[in-house]
Amino acid sequence: MIHKSTIDAVFETARLEEVIGDFVLLKKAGSNFKGLSPFSDERTPSFMVSPVKQIWKDFSSGKGGNVVAFLMEHEHFTYPEAIKYLAKKYNIEFQETEQTDEQKEQANERESMYLVSEFANTFFQNSLLKTEQGKAIGLTYFKERGFTEETIKKFGLGYSPDVWDAFTAEAIKKGYQLDYLEKTGLTIVKEEKQFDRFKGRVMFPIQSMSGRVLGFGGRILTNEKKAAKYLNSPESDIYHKSKVLYGIYHAKQAIAKEDNCYLVEGYTDVIQFNQTGVTNVVSSSGTALTSDQIRLISRLTKNITVLFDSDAAGMRASLRGIDLILEQGMNVKVCSFPDGEDPDSFAKQNTLEELSSYLEENVQDFISFKASLLQQESKNDPIKRAELVRDMVTSISKIPDVIKREIYVKECSRIMDVSEDVLFDTLAQIRNVDVKEDRKQQKQHQKSLEVVKTEAHKQPKVNRQYVLERHIIKALLIYGVQEEEFEDLIMKESEDGELILEPEIHKIKVFEKIYLDLQDDEIEFTDQVFKDIYTILIEELNQVDEFKIDSFINKIPPEIASEITEIMMREERYELHRWVDMEIHVKQKTDSVAEYVNNIILSLRGFLIDQKIKELSQEVKAQNLESNMNILEDIRDYQTLKKLLYRKLNRVI
């Protein structure tokens, strides 16, 4: 169990925008931050972070909460894991009570696999740096590659001894279960025998965006023909190679800062670039690039620069990856290195200034690069040239944005000296749409960029009671324990027999004011979620002197926490004048809290009176004359009450 003092220190110290900023590219949006959802594939930002309230909301998936909730959702941490992560990030002393044997047995299976992977990482590093075999073989290899000891430690490079069960035996000795050693792929079990998967290899730990070890890549140093040069951990509950990028943990901040990500092929390319000083670089770890990997980058930047070596076959394979990047709506550029060079060797032989200059001067738009590469193959062959043009248009067809497609078609027309009309026709055929319809879409997009007189749109219908109930919840969340002077209206009968409202001022907490008024009017929430939130909120506010939203969210059911974050984060869907049209008045900067709360309650009363008048009016049609007289009398009373309420609200009926 984690000590309460540690949890309190974490919540007091952790800054939500800093933590989420390690995983998502955030941009300032007023007093909040905005970014692309890390939980869904989207191109328009709907992920909101509030530094003031210390809560976040993802409107595309509906998820939301505090800093711990984000780590639990995004990194699949358990609650203790999230607290540990934050304590480590902010250098907070982590205190916990000793776990019982029963608690250890109940440990999450994924966590057990993470622990095994962390142990393996430490074992391989110690083997590299502290054993004679590791120093003589593994360390010598890394130093021959030009890696400094600082770089080796930064990337956690290691060595797996050339002994059949060196790691497995040590892990079992330390109390790690063989079952988890096998599930992570670190140990291969055959009948009653077990041996190390990575025997005799130098090791590259593969980390998640948060720095957790997910798996390993191992390179053999002997010339065994039957053994693979590189060997990766097999797929497991914690390692999915199609969703992981090597180096992302070390590159994430630089990618966001530079607003660009360099994409290379291998582990050593990433490491050598980092050592030279270019840190916004990742690798697909020798596997074909996937959509999940591209989306991982898209959380940090919309710009990818693919770096090729001079190998022609490698270039052709990478071109397929470019189409996938374009399909995800990303901006892609490419850069190749001189003959005989790859990113690793080129970075090793050049200074940071030379490497940066080369990348800047030789980077090309993908369409120009593809043209120059494929033209070398087509030369003067008209058939191959036609195939080249179709190949280029096929790449353009992957781009989801119609405006970008049009710009690239024009660029392709210029480079290849082919008419735009022909290219547009080809594009439409490839995209399997009618040519006229495709042109129509292009014209519509062009018109959308022009300043035109817009027609009046029919406004969507607003559910006034839903909105007012939502405002009551919001008032409780923001001002619940705040004490205010309220002017209550006491209904009395004047000497003339008319109903009048007399003001009476008293000091009371906001939640008490709302609770008592709703009780007096016997008003119940019609929305079940709001009803649940209201019940929990009133109970909480009645027990605390200081109310913190992030702490409150942490101890309530996830579905209610998600709704609360949405209430706190969602911007109003309509302009202020639209609310006024619907007789829903929101708080202005000049309003006091008491005025705001009073307005909500009075507006809700007014709405319910309107509903009652409508109900009674419907009854008039179905009743006899004598009954009608009684109903009409009730309607007049309600209308009188409505006038008094509107007078208080300074509104005209």
The token pair that represents 212 in the structure block: 């957790």
For the stretch 94-107, pLDDT in tens is 776 665 665 555 55
For the stretch 340-377, pLDDT in tens is 899 999 999 999 999 999 999 999 988 888 777 766 66
The token pair that represents 603 in the structure block: 């507006």
What are the two backbone dihedrals, phi and then psi, of residue 235, each rounded to the nearest 5 degrees? -60, 140
How are strands ordered across the β-sheet holding 213-220?
Answer: 158-160, 201-207, 213-220, 230-232
Q: Which of 504-513, 577-586, 616-625, 640-649 has the lowest mean pLDDT?
A: 577-586
On the question of pLDDT at 454 being above 50, the answer is: no
Query: For residues 334 and 322, is the Cβ–Cβ distance under 8 A?
Result: yes
For the stretch 258-315, pLDDT in tens is 889 999 989 999 999 999 999 999 998 767 889 889 988 988 888 999 998 766 555 6
The token pair that represents 496 in the structure block: 């003339």
Kindly report the CA angle at 243 between 326 and 250, in degrees rounded to 5?
95
For the stretch 455-473, pLDDT in tens is 444 444 557 788 888 888 9
Mean per-residue pLDDT, 18-29: 89
What are the two backbone dihedrals, phi and then psi, of residue 246, each rounded to the nearest 5 degrees? -70, 130
Distance CA 111, CA 3 (A): 20
**What predicted TM-score, i.e. pTM, was given to this entire model?**
0.64
- pLDDT for position 630: 63
The full set of domains in the chain, from first to last, is 4-102 (3.90.580.10), 107-239 (3.90.980.10), 367-448 (no CATH), 464-648 (no CATH)
Mean per-residue pLDDT, 384-400: 86
Distance CA 342, CA 353 (A): 18
- pLDDT for position 107: 54
Distance CA 136, CA 146 (A): 16
Question: Of residues 576 and 395, which shows the higher confidence score?
Answer: 395
- pLDDT for position 499: 61
H-helix or E-strand spanning residue 232: strand 230-232
Which residue in this structure is represented by tokens 């319910």?
608
What are the two backbone dihedrals, phi and then psi, of residue 263, each rounded to the nearest 5 degrees? -115, 120
Distance CA 265, CA 285 (A): 6
- DSSP E strands in 319-440: the ranges are 331-336, 364-365
Distance CA 6, CA 16 (A): 17
The band of 429, judged by pLDDT with boundaries at 50, 70 and 90, is confident
On the question of pLDDT at 573 being above 50, the answer is: no
Query: For residues 202 and 159, is the Cβ–Cβ distance under 8 A?
Result: yes
On the question of pLDDT at 175 being above 50, the answer is: yes
Highest mean pLDDT among 143-152, 300-309, 474-483: 143-152
Other Cβ atoms less than 10 A from the Cβ of 130: the count is 9
User: Percent of the chain having pLDDT more than 70?
Assistant: 79
Residue 45 to residues 41, 48, 619, Cα–Cα distance (Å): 10, 8, 49
On the question of pLDDT at 491 being above 90, the answer is: no
Q: Which of 328-332, 465-469, 505-509, 613-617 has the lowest mean pLDDT?
A: 613-617
For the stretch 592-611, pLDDT in tens is 888 888 888 878 877 877 77
Mean per-residue pLDDT, 27-45: 84
Kindly report the CA angle at 184 between 179 and 185, in degrees rounded to 5?
95
The token pair that represents 494 in the structure block: 């004047």
H-helix or E-strand spanning residue 633: helix 625-648
- pLDDT for position 317: 61
The token pair that represents 534 in the structure block: 């209201």
- pLDDT for position 459: 47
Q: Percentage helix, strand, coil, to 5, in the chain?
A: 55, 15, 30
Kindly report the CA angle at 501 between 499 and 506, in degrees rounded to 5?
150
Q: Calculate the average pLDDT of the chain.
A: 81
Distance CA 121, CA 239 (A): 15
